[in-house]
Amino acid sequence: MNTRRLASVALAAAVVLGTTGCSMISPQATTIPYSAADGVNVPASGPLKVRNALFVANEDGTTANFLAAVVNDTDKAETLLVGVDGTTKPIRVAAHSSVSLGYDKAEPLEFTGLDAPAGVDLSTSFQSGDGEAVVYDVPVLDGTLPYLADFVPKD
């Protein structure tokens, strides 16, 4: 009788282990961070966080508007420096607030003299506070998508 019980317990344990063992050796897809948008999230190098960063370029890729949300969780105002091809532009963000470039009446940053047609990634530097500058590849899109059409630079 004990042998039957032991065999039943062993069989049940094998079934449970066999059906749940995959989660022990495989990463869970829901724990892998990703950008669920057209833009990218830039790893922080200082106190400011850059979310959903992207460029919307004109047809020949010589001018592009930079769109992003910049978040400041600190107790003091901070400035983010965004640099592309030798041109650096500041974005001032008040304490405990955010700026949505291109949205909510905040103008996008316009960069000119580029060679960045839609479909490429534009090497862009980000620096805030005392942090080191982080260089990150930011996607360049065009006005093909209806919700981006208003952000195409006007010539």
pLDDT digit string, tens, across residues 58-104: 999 999 999 999 999 999 999 999 999 999 999 999 999 999 998 87
Query: What average pLDDT does this structure show over 106-131?
Result: 94
pLDDT of residue 34: 66
The whole model's pTM is what? 0.78
Task: Give mean pLDDT, residues 115-133.
Answer: 94
**For 99-105, which contacts have Cβ atoms below 8 Å and span 24 or more sequence positions?**
99/69, 99/70, 100/68, 100/69, 100/70, 101/66, 101/67, 101/68, 101/69, 101/70, 102/65, 102/66, 102/67, 102/68, 102/151, 103/67, 103/69
* In this structure, CATH architecture of domain 40-151: Sandwich (2.60)
Average pLDDT over residues 24-31: 71
